[in-house]
């Protein structure tokens, strides 16, 4: 996603540096003079954060259930187009906001956060109903984007535009995945895990190159996020940190597939076996 913590960016050491640290926030002068003196602070699991998490789940569950109960293709298309439009409008609208306030820095505005790629795949899944898009959206959306919702790298709270744009972008991805699980009955397979891991390698290597060229921290591949997260428990040695990220992704993907594997085995054992 586009930078929502505008005062928390800092140039980082080149890729060949061997140690990882969490860099302290350093306020950008342009932002500091842009009326940010009384900006609301973000509170992890505060009232606004909990409301966002609740709405992220309850809205797609309600819409998905309505489509599934009625079988309405018109309603399904309306939800798919509406959510896709919301995600695209939020992304480009926020970019326009940054540009109009002279805050858009190209090195920080490239679409190389994992959530940027997940946004593209969920829009494609909603509009095309193709399984190949949906399975990647499921693992990236729940395994990656949902973690960003729970522990966001965000310093400002509601009603700051950065708070609103951040959660529209991230929650829209997760809401889309939940909707597809309910309305279109998507179920991952073991092959889904392998294919998503393969696409994740494409993202990893492309983003490492972009991080090297720009010095920015896309995908948190150069250093850990400033906000507390599960990445805090990983190594501070760069190459080992990347390997552990790969392992963490595999664990998350396996956990996300496990409920469907267990459900499939349960149905298989419950079937009557005729002699």
Question: Phi-psi bin for 221: left (phi > 0), alpha (psi -120 to 50), beta?
Answer: alpha
Count of the separate structural domains present in the chain: 1
pLDDT reading at 141 higher than 90: yes
Q: In the predicted model, is pLDDT for residue 51 greater than 70?
A: yes
Torsion sign across C-alpha atoms 249, 119, 99, 35: negative
Compute φ and ψ for 69, nearest 5 degrees. Answer: -75, -35
Domain presence at residue 103: yes
In terms of pLDDT, which residue wins out, 226 or 191?
191
Distance of CA 121 to the CA centre of its chain: 11
Does residue 17 fall inside a structural domain? no
Q: Is 9 inside any structural domain?
A: no
Whether omega before 123 lies within 30 degrees of 0, making that bond cis, reads no
- Residue 175 confidence class, pLDDT cut points 50, 70, 90: very high
- Which phi-psi region, left, alpha or beta, contains residue 218 (left: φ > 0; alpha: ψ -120 to 50)? beta
- Average predicted confidence (pLDDT) for the chain: 87
Domain span at residue 259? 41-270
pTM reported for the whole predicted model: 0.84
| Residue in the structure block whose two tokens are 């992890």 | 44
CA distance 57 to 270: 31
> Which parts of 138-266 are beta strand (E)?
none
The answer to whether position 134 is within a domain reads yes
Q: How far apart are the first and last CA of the chain?
A: 57
Residue 31 has pLDDT above 60, yes or no: no
Q: Is residue 217 part of a domain?
A: yes
Portion of the chain with pLDDT greater than 70, in percent: 85
CB-CB neighbours of 266 under 10 Å: 9
Residue 92 in domain:
yes
On the question of pLDDT at 17 being above 50, the answer is: no
Q: Domain for residue 275, yes or no?
A: no
Residue 24 included in any domain: no
Q: What is the pLDDT of residues 119-140, one digit of tens each?
A: 999 999 999 999 999 999 999 9
């Amino acid at each position: 996603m586009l930078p929502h913590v505008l005062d928390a960016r800092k140039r980082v050491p080149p890729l060949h540096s061997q140690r990882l640290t969490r860099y302290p926030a350093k306020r950008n002068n342009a932002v500091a003079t842009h009326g940010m003196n009384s900006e609301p602070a973000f509170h992890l699991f505060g009232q606004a954060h909990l409301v966002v998490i609740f709405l992220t789940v309850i809205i797609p569950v309600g819409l998905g259930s309505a489509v599934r109960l009625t079988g309405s293709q018109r309603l399904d298309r309306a939800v798919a187009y509406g959510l896709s439009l919301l995600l695209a409008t939020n992304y480009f609208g926020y970019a326009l906001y940054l540009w109009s306030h002279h805050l858009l820095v190209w090195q920080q505005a490239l679409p190389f956060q994992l959530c940027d790629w997940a946004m593209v795949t969920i829009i494609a899944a909603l509009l095309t109903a193709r399984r190949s898009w949906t399975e990647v959206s499921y693992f990236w959306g729940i395994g990656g984007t949902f973690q960003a919702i729970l522990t966001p790298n965000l310093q400002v709270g509601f009603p700051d535009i950065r708070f609103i744009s951040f959660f529209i972008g991230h929650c829209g991805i997760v809401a889309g995945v939940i909707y597809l699980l309910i309305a279109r009955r998507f179920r991952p397979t073991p092959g889904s895990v392998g294919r998503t891991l393969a696409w994740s390698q494409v993202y990893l290597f492309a983003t490492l190159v972009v991080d090297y060229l720009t010095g920015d921290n896309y995908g948190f591949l150069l250093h850990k996020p400033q906000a507390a997260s599960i990445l805090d428990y990983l190594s501070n040695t760069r190459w080992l940190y990347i390997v552990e990220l790969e392992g963490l992704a595999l664990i998350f993907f396996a956990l996300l597939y496990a409920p469907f594997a267990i459900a499939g085995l349960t149905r298989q054992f419950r079937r009557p076996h005729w002699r």
